[in-house]
């Protein structure tokens, strides 16, 4: 992977809901093969940013490019190269794990052999063998999150959006997903939103701290620690976002 090749770029990207500005003139560059984390409290603008970059929400103003394609004018091209695992796990509850994956595979190709191969490959990759025949509604939170990410991966995306993928999971399930995400980033660009500081520390190449719709700090962990003048991401986050709260 070429970590110098630009995969995502935004310029003055803005989203307003009535009088409320959710994302405020966002300028961002993410490179091919990076795992880039967006940190922020609830309402910071993380999910809104993901929704605009994945063409689920149209910006109020500004521009966004994914893989060189415009999210405004070339949405279909963008959708061909991305996968998204949303915050609210999007699985069909009454379908089995295998049926959920096969359904998603069929959206990308009409070749039944290819659909079957991709479905079986995702089951192996995410170690879903023991629940492959189970309805999604019977799965634990950890299994559902794994299934959701597998569904996002089945189209073999160049860019993968993971919106709070480990939210609400127990420690063991979270660590298992961290290991999986670490392996996934070897072949694609990943944009991760999370509330867990340790998660961002463990997985990220670069981190951006969002607050009130703006990027307040962006860089490697060590760069953010240096900027904040403290050690540890949690302390840096409090120093940067906490001060903003007082302004």
Percent of the chain with pLDDT over 70: 97
**pLDDT average, residue stretch 1-28:** 92
Asked whether residue 1 carries a pLDDT value surpassing 60, the answer given is no
Instruction: Tell me: do 198 and 236 sit in the same domain.
Output: yes
163 and 136 co-located in one domain: no
Cβ burial of 112 (10 Å; 0-12, 13-18, 19+) is exposed
Domain annotation covers residue 177: no
Q: What is the mean pLDDT of residues 86-95?
A: 87
CATH number where 51 lies:
3.40.50.300
178 in a structural domain: no
Asked if residue 95 belongs to a domain, the reply is yes
Same domain? For 163 and 246 the reply is yes
Number of domains comprising the chain: 2
The pTM of the full predicted model, rounded to 2 decimals, is 0.92
pLDDT over 70 at 243, yes or no: no
pLDDT at 183: 86
93, 143 contact by CB (below 8 A): no
**Tokens encoding 73:** 């004018």
Q: Is 242 a member of any domain?
A: yes
pLDDT over threshold 50, residue 246: no
**Contact (CB, 8 A) for 159 and 188:** yes
User: Quick check: is 237 in a domain?
Assistant: yes
Q: Could you tell me which residues are beta bridge partners of residue 10? A: 28, 64
Which pLDDT belongs to residue 68?
96
Q: Are residues 236 and 194 in the same domain?
A: yes
Residue 175 lies in a domain: no
Torsion sign, CA atoms 49, 52, 57, 60: positive
At residue 80, the pLDDT reads 94
Report the chain's mean pLDDT, rounded to a whole number: 92
Same domain membership, residue 103 and residue 135: yes
Q: Is 140 inside any structural domain?
A: yes
Domain that holds residue 229: 1-81+158-170+187-247
Q: Are 77 and 197 part of one and the same domain?
A: yes
Summarised one tens digit per residue, pLDDT across range 181-228 is 988 887 899 999 998 899 999 999 999 999 999 999 999 999 999 999
Strand partners, 65: 9, 70
User: What is the pLDDT at residue 3?
Assistant: 60
Q: What does the alpha-carbon distance between residue 49 and residue 9 come to, in Å, rounded to a whole number?
A: 12
Most confident residue range from 74-83, 104-113, 164-173: 74-83
């Amino acid at each position: 992977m070429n970590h110098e090749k630009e995969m995502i770029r935004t310029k003055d990207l803005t989203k307003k809901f009535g009088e409320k500005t959710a994302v405020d003139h966002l300028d961002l560059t993410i490179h091919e093969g990076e795992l880039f984390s967006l940190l922020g409290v609830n309402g910071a603008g993380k999910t809104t940013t993901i929704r605009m970059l994945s063409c689920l929400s149209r910006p109020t103003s500004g521009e966004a490019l994914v893989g060189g394609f415009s999210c405004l004018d070339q949405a279909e091209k963008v959708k061909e190269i991305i996968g998204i695992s949303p915050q609210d796990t999007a699985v069909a509850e009454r379908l089995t794990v295998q049926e959920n994956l096969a359904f998603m595979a069929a959206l990308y190709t009409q070749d039944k052999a290819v659909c079957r191969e991709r479905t079986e490959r995702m089951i192996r990759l995410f170690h879903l063998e023991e629940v492959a025949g189970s309805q999604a509604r019977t799965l634990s939170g950890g299994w559902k999150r794994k299934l959701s990410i597998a569904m996002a991966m089945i189209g073999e995306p160049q860019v993968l959006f993971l919106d709070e993928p480990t939210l609400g999971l127990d420690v063991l399930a979270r660590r298992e997903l961290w290991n999986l995400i670490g392996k996934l980033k070897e072949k694609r660009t990943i944009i991760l939103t999370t509330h867990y500081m340790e998660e961002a520390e463990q997985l990220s190449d670069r981190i951006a701290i969002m607050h009130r719709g703006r990027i307040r700090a962006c860089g490697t962990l060590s760069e953010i620690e240096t900027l904040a003048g403290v050690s540890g991401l949690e302390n840096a986050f409090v120093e940067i976002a906490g001060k903003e709260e007082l302004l």
